[in-house]
Structure 1
């Protein structure tokens, strides 16, 4: 049975396995990995996990860097990540309130739809009445995931990253 958990240094090896499956790069939006994060060493990984916990703190709402990060896990296997960003700022306008990703070998199991439903519950608890979700226009799996959770298409926009679909979900 999958769970959404807060990032933890305990799953360092499992997280590295998921990252290696994705290949080089910053990977999926739901992990909150930045270009300066060093995650290969246990110390660097612990520092990154601590930053994610700090950004999840309510005190960061005023800075625009507040975000709830959750990992999608079963036992000690990391399937993916999902992030819920609070407020509305330029970053949220561009990338949405919610970002997620599922590692390739864990796709087509309904994990993204399940995780999105759980993070919408967290958004409701935080008092959000609607959330913006953005995905690449040709990402048919994300389109289905968002629409299954009640996403209403606002439109498709050309961006520097290519055409993007923007959805709103009422909570």
Structure 2
């Protein structure tokens, strides 16, 4: 049964295959400002070695701590991976608070499911499993956004009780009780 876990070096081989799938669909390039895009540009050169991948995992874990240095405009963020045994299926990031940008576009929670694992209900299950973690961070209502044309993500949010608020900058904005 898949579960949300703290990032771990144990799924490196499967993670690398998933990142190759994302790259094949055009993710990770210089204009990709998603989590996958940023992390690919910063870490992909070192993912192939166990030591480099372990350092990446350590950085993801440290991003949740308030005292960790981060780029301007970034907030503490808890990353969780959705795995089954040693198979990496997807990722979810919980931003601990909202900046103006996150309020308008990014939201509290962002998620990705690797292309070969899509359309199996994993995104819905990931978001559902993350809501207690979000609540434990002191967030009673989480903002979750998606592109206006992303019907699958809209259905994931609505299946988790998302209440539509509005559309801003090409994003649909939903509030989900935690």
- Note whether the superposition's TM-score is higher than 0.5: yes
Distance between the aligned counterparts of 1:152 and 1:134, measured in 2? 11
| Residue 168 of structure 2 corresponds to residue 144 of structure 1 | no
Secondary structure at the counterpart of residue 36 of structure 1 = helix
Q: Would you say how many aligned residue pairs link Structure 1 and Structure 2?
A: 167
Please, which runs of 5 or more residues in structure 2 have no aligned partner?
A: none
Distance between the aligned counterparts of 1:119 and 1:43, measured in 2? 29
Paired position in structure 2 for 1:25: 27
Query: After TM superposition, which residue ranges in structure 1, 4 or more long, deviate above 6 angstroms?
Result: none
| Residue 58 of structure 2 corresponds to residue 50 of structure 1 | yes
Secondary structure at the counterpart of residue 39 of structure 2 = coil
1:21-170 correspondence to structure 2 within 5 Å:
21-23=21-23, 24-26=26-28, 29=34, 33=39, 35-38=41-44, 39-60=47-68, 64-93=74-103, 94-158=105-169, 163-170=170-177
String of CA shifts for 1:65-119, please: whole Å, max 9, x gaps: 3111111111111111011110121342221100001111111111111110111
Aligned-pair CA distance for 1:60: 4.7
Structure-2-length-normalised TM-score: 0.83
Structure-1-length-normalised TM-score: 0.86
Distance between the aligned counterparts of 1:68 and 1:11, measured in 2? 18
Is residue 81–residue 90 contact of structure 2 (8 Å, CA) maintained in 1? yes
